[in-house]
C-alpha cells in the first residue's frame, strides 16, 4: 500500500486537525506528571495504520541509511542483528489520546546506528520511510534521543506485523505517529520536511506534553 491522502481515515484526521480535536489547552510537565494532557491510559496496544498491514519476512527486509552521512549503509537482517543490541523501557503516547505505560523493547539504539553512519555537520532533520509508503519527519536531535530505539521485539517477543515488525522506530518523547512502523529507510536532511500526516494537518514535531497534535489550530 502507498500513501493515500484521500482515504477515509486521512479525511477524518484532516477534519480532526481543522477542529482541534482532543485539545485540552492544558500544558503538563513530565517531571510532575506521567500522563500527558488529553491522554487516557490503556493496558492493551491499539492498532492504527493506513488500512493495510504488510507482512515482511526478515529474509527480504532491508534498512537503508543515506543522505547527509559520511558512511551510508544498507542493512539486511543479519547485519542489523549483528549491531549492538539493547533493551529499553518506555511509555508510549498516541495522538488519538491513548497512552500505554512500561513497554519493554529490544533492538538497536538510534545513537548506536548514528555512530556507524557519522552524520554530517549540516544534517538537522530525518525523513523516515516505511514499506507501505508511509513517511514521517523528525529533527535529528529528537531522532537521536537517548531512549530512541529501532525495535524488533516488544515484551520479549518479535514485533508482530500489525505493530510494525520486523523493525519499527520508537521515539517515546513524541506522539507515536512519529515512530514509523515497517521501517525501511532513514534519510538525513539539511532542513525539516513534512511527512505523510504532517502534510495532512498534523504537527511537525509532535510533543505530547505541549499537545502538539496539529499544525493548524483554529
Which residue segments constitute the domains of the chain, with CATH numbers given? Answer: 8-210 (3.90.420.10)
Instruction: Measure the CA–CA gap between 130 and 185, rounded to whole angstroms.
Output: 7
DSSP string covering the chain: ----TTSHHHHHHHHHHHHTTT-------TTT-SSPTT-EE-SS-----SS------TTT-EEEEEESBSS-EEEEHHHHHHSPPEEEEEEEE-TTSEEEEEEEEEEEEHHHHHHHH-B-TT--EEEEEETTS-EEEEEHHHHT-TT-EEEEEETTEEPPGGGTTT-EEE-TTS-GGGS-SSEEEEEEESS----HHHHTTB-SS--GGGT--BS---
Q: Do residues 200 and 17 lie in contact, with contact meaning Cβ atoms separated by under 8 Å?
A: yes
- What pLDDT, in 10s, does the model give residues 118-155? 999 999 999 999 998 899 999 999 999 999 999 999 99
- Check residue 2 and give its pLDDT: 46
pLDDT beyond 80 at 27? no
| pLDDT computed for residue 215 by the predictor | 85
Task: Report pTM.
Answer: 0.84
pLDDT one-digit tens code per residue, 175-214: 999 999 999 999 999 999 999 999 999 999 999 999 999 9
Looking at residue 186, its pLDDT comes to 98
Split at pLDDT 50, 70, 90, the class of 28 is: low
Cis ω before 166 (30° cut-off from 0): yes
The per-residue pLDDT of the chain, averaged, comes to: 89
Amino acid at each position: 500500500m502507498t500513501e493515500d491522502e484521500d482515504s477515509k481515515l486521512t479525511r477524518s484526521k484532516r477534519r480532526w486537525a481543522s477542529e482541534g480535536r482532543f485539545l485540552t489547552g492544558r500544558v503538563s510537565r513530565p517531571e510532575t506528571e506521567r500522563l500527558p494532557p488529553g491522554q487516557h491510559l490503556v493496558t492493551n496496544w491499539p492498532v492504527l495504520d493506513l488500512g493495510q498491514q504488510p507482512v515482511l519476512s526478515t529474509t527480504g527486509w532491508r534498512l537503508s541509511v543515506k543522505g547527509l552521512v559520511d558512511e551510508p549503509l544498507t542493512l539486511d537482517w543479519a547485519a542489523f542483528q549483528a549491531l549492538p543490541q539493547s533493551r529499553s523501557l518506555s511509555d508510549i503516547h498516541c495522538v488519538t489520546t491513548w497512552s500505554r505505560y512500561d513497554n519493554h523493547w529490544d533492538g538497536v539504539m538510534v545513537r548506536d546506528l548514528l555512530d556507524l553512519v557519522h552524520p554530517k555537520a549540516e544534517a538537522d532533520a530525518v525523513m523516515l520511510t516505511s514499506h507501505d509508503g508511509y513517511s514521517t519527519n523528525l529533527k535529528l536531535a529528537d531522532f537521536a534521543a537517548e531512549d530512541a530505539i529501532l525495535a524488533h521485539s516488544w515484551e520479549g517477543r518479535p514485533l508482530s506485523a500489525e505493530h510494525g515488525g520486523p523493525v519499527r522506530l520508537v521515539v517515546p518523547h513524541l506522539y507515536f505517529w512519529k515512530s514509523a512502523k515497517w521501517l525501511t529507510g532513514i534519510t538525513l536532511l539539511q532542513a525539516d520536511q513534512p511527512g505523510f500526516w504532517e502534510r495532512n494537518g498534523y504537527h511537525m514535531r509532535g510533543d505530547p506534553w505541549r499537545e502538539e497534535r496539529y499544525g493548524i489550530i483554529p
